[in-house]
Structure 1
Amino acid sequence: MAEVSRAAHWKFRGLFLLIAAVLFFVQLLPLASGAGRMPGPDVLLLVVAAWVLRRPDYVPVLLIAAVFLLADILFMRPLGLWTAIVILGTEFLRARSVAVRDWSFAVEWLVVAVTIAVMFLANALVLTLFMANDAPLGLTLIHLIATVLAYPLVVILGARAMGLQKIAPGEVDALGHRQ
């Protein structure tokens, strides 16, 4: 039983890395350049939030840190700032992963939306404090709204395509501990 669980952990970690690599590849493609392009949702952040709430053992904090640090490097963001903010936000969500079993989806979505809004606000505040170049506030708000509105789609795709379900009340982890 423990071997099956460990295999599932590695399968989902590999799947997470594959999803991250595909998202990086798509975002780096020069598909639409120029002004007037609307910002889309931060899909990688949504995948991490959904997985941390549903199966926190599948995405350890070091894996999240490595992926988002690589994203900071690839997208030329201030090195480690967004990574640190994502780590804080996802650990906040991870601490609530046991309670999410009892929540309705609307409450879960609200908690994720508020957490993501605080993350975006913290990022904008730090960038403003250090007078770094950042996107205008309007584009940041559109990016935030698009990210929050895309959360249900990411959860549905995660549940249907990958079988990512909430932890059942009597389920045990790889070490035999009750969740």
Structure 2
Amino acid sequence: MSDIAPSTRLWTMRIAFSMLVLMILFLHLLPLQTATGGLIWPDFLLLFALAWSVRRPDYVPAALLAALFLMADLLLQRPPGLWALLALIACEQMKGQSRSLRDASLAAEMMSAALWIVGIGLAYRIILAVMVVDVPPLGPAVIQILVTAMTYPLVVAITHALMRVRKPTPGDIDGKGVRS
């Protein structure tokens, strides 16, 4: 894909991320698990957004993330905008750390992502409790937070190997024609 113009690749990857999110939401909405007490799945939408935010921040602009997270809130019947705002804050902070995490190890990136995942989960529950909204049970929420944090390396591997979204090297040119 090196012969593709940077702006074309940029928009192709933004569309690919949007399609990935739509596929995740589609699979999440399918009635695959009809009995109660089944598996607790990680939040793949948040994981892919965090991984792409660290690896290629220009592929996931804030407006795109906000629109996709808000759509997820509406489709998954969560309080509209709350999870979207918290996830957007985490992704934007990870984008801000992307230069320092580019040279860091995967363990440092995992720790940063895990801290944001735990922070989002706690903030979400606290805000719901303060607003006197029904808070989901603590046990499954903690398990989902832990499973989500532990699944981050798998998502990074998929992002790197299959989707070819890699950390930029110092000589790479981004979508605006600027060297990173």
Which TM-score band applies after superposition, normalised by the shorter structure?
over 0.9
Whole-Å separation in 2 of the counterparts to 1:130 and 1:176: 45
Deviation at 1:2, TM superposition (A): 11
Instruction: Give the structure 2 partner of residue 38 of structure 1.
Output: 39
Kindly, what percent of the aligned residue pairs are identical? Answer: 36
Instruction: Give the structure 1 partner of residue 15 of structure 2.
Output: 14
Q: Where does the alignment leave 5 or more consecutive residues of structure 1 unmatched?
A: none
Deviation at 1:177, TM superposition (A): 2.2
The alignment's TM-score, normalised by the length of structure 1, stands at 0.95
Instruction: Give the structure 2 partner of residue 80 of structure 1.
Output: 81
AA aligned opposite 2:31: P
- Contact 1:117-1:144 at 8 Å conserved across structures: yes
The alignment partner of 1:88 has SS state of: helix
AA aligned opposite 2:48: V
Residues 1:2 and 1:121: Cα distance change in structure 2 (over 3 Å): farther
- Contact 2:171-2:179 at 8 Å conserved across structures: yes
Instruction: Give the structure 2 partner of residue 61 of structure 1.
Output: 62
Deviation at 1:3, TM superposition (A): 6.8
Whole-Å separation in 1 of the counterparts to 2:18 and 2:118: 25
Deviation at 1:31, TM superposition (A): 1.1
- Contact 1:69-1:83 at 8 Å conserved across structures: yes
- Contact 2:10-2:59 at 8 Å conserved across structures: yes
The alignment's TM-score, normalised by the length of structure 2, stands at 0.95
Instruction: Give the structure 2 partner of residue 47 of structure 1.
Output: 48
Whole-Å separation in 1 of the counterparts to 2:174 and 2:161: 22
Deviation at 1:135, TM superposition (A): 1.5
The answer as to 2:28 corresponding to 1:24 is no
Deviation at 1:106, TM superposition (A): 0.5
Whole-Å separation in 1 of the counterparts to 2:14 and 2:140: 32
Whole-Å separation in 2 of the counterparts to 1:152 and 1:37: 23
Whole-Å separation in 2 of the counterparts to 1:2 and 1:172: 13
- Contact 1:13-1:59 at 8 Å conserved across structures: yes
Whole-Å separation in 1 of the counterparts to 2:175 and 2:81: 31
- Contact 1:65-1:87 at 8 Å conserved across structures: yes
